[in-house]
Amino acid sequence: MGAKADKNILFICGSLRAPSLNRQVGNAATHMLGEISAHLHTRWLDYADLPYMNQDIEFPAPATVKRVRADVMAADAVWIFSPEYNQGIPGVLKNCLDWLSRPLEPGSDDTAMKGRLTMFSCAGGGGKARYCAARLEETLAFMQTDLIETTHTQVALDRHDYTTNELVMSEAEQEALRTQTRILADRLLG
Ligand SMILES: Cc1cc2nc3c(=O)[nH]c(=O)nc-3n(C[C@H](O)[C@H](O)[C@H](O)COP(=O)(O)O)c2cc1C
Q: Could you give the CA distance from residue 148 to residue 116 in angstroms, rounded to a whole number?
A: 10
| Ligand 1 neighbour 181 (Cβ under 6 A) | no
Count the Cβ atoms, other than its own, within 10 Å of residue 182. 14
- For 80-135, the pLDDT digits (tens) are 999 999 999 999 999 999 999 999 999 999 999 999 999 999 999 999 999 999 99
CA–CA gap between residue 121 and residue 82 (Å, rounded)? 7
Integer Cα distance of 36 and 146 in angstroms: 22
The DSSP element (H or E) to which 174 belongs, if any, is: helix 171-189
Distance 9 CA to ligand 1 centre (A): 25
Q: Specify the pTM.
A: 0.97
Nearest CA to ligand 1 atom 16: 124
* Three-state secondary structure call for residue 91: helix
CATH 3.40.50.360 fits 7-189, yes or no: yes
Ligand 1 atom at minimum distance from 162 CA: 21
